[in-house]
Amino acid sequence: MKELVLPDQMAQRVHDLYTRMEAEYDRVASELHFGCEGCPDNCCDSHFQHHTYLEWAYLWKGLRELPVEKFEQVEQWAAAHVRECSRAESRGERPQVMCPLNEEGLCILYKHRMLVCRTHGVPASMQRPDGQVLRFPGCFRCQELVEKRGESEEDVPQVERTPLLRELVMMEDEFLSRRRHLYPKVKLTIAEMIIKGPPMVPLSFCERGCDDENCG
């Protein structure tokens, strides 16, 4: 199969989108006087799945910048992560396993971390295509701060994820040559993205760009 290569220009657009996400996070964190310093917990053991080929490819762009020895170590950590998650799920538990990119409490691929990693912690909301609004209260520490403020859910400072996610989806569609609907859906943890390797073009897509396996 052929790899889905992320062009440098689009990688820069992903970086710019992430930068705006971080600015929104910082705005909300500042208004709530919220920070992670001194927290007894580490959000990097939260079980998140990611859903775009674009972020998958951007992650691999960062992985390839690692020294060979470190990359091989990350692969080992990722394999162990997948095994531990599988054992937890077999027991009917939600996995709580440290991300394979976390070393001594810090992300070794910080500038390439995923959208969810960048928005987790502070209150956020998003509107689904069907109009339903989903609200995320933030981490336990942030929830304690919000509770002390005594504000209604609607009045609490929050990151509005909807325009950011819409832009990400539009970029994903462009990255997949407007054929996003023909690609298998992505639902992978970071560890699984590492183990599987970089995202690939499906075998059913011929070199001329169609999706007919019998195309001659």
The whole model's pTM is what? 0.87
In order, the DSSP letters of 108-160 are: TTGGG--HHHHHTTS-EEEE-TTSPEEEE---HHHHHHHHHHT--GGGS--EE
CA 20, 25, 27, 31: dihedral to nearest 10 degrees? 170
Cα 168 to Cα 17: distance, rounded to the nearest angstrom: 8
pLDDT-based confidence at residue 66 (cuts at 50, 70, 90):
very high
Give me the mean pLDDT over the 189-208 stretch: 85
Q: What pLDDT does 213 receive?
A: 43
Residue 192 contacts residue 75 (beta carbons within 8 Å): no
Give me the mean pLDDT over the 56-69 stretch: 96
Give me the mean pLDDT over the 1-25 stretch: 92
**Cα 123 to Cα 23, 28, 155, distances in angstroms:** 14, 8, 11
Q: Residue 184: left (phi > 0), alpha (psi -120 to 50), or beta? A: beta
Residue 131 contacts residue 67 (beta carbons within 8 Å): no
Give me the mean pLDDT over the 10-22 stretch: 94
Cα 174 to Cα 206: distance, rounded to the nearest angstrom: 18
Q: What pLDDT does 208 receive?
A: 47
Residue 3 contacts residue 198 (beta carbons within 8 Å): yes
| pLDDT per residue as tens digits for the range 86-127 | 999 999 999 999 999 999 888 999 999 888 888 888 999 989
- Please state the length of the chain: 216
| pLDDT per residue as tens digits for the range 133-167 | 988 888 888 888 888 888 777 788 999 999 999 99
CA 67, 70, 72, 76: dihedral to nearest 10 degrees? -160
Cα 142 to Cα 33: distance, rounded to the nearest angstrom: 9
Give me the mean pLDDT over the 174-203 stretch: 93
Q: What pLDDT does 210 receive?
A: 56
Quick check: 8 pLDDT over 70?
yes
pLDDT-based confidence at residue 215 (cuts at 50, 70, 90):
very low
| Best CA proximity match to 58, nearest among 13, 12, 11 | 11
Cα 210 to Cα 95: distance, rounded to the nearest angstrom: 39
Residue 95 contacts residue 85 (beta carbons within 8 Å): yes
Of 18-27, 37-46, 71-80, 112-121, the least confident: 37-46
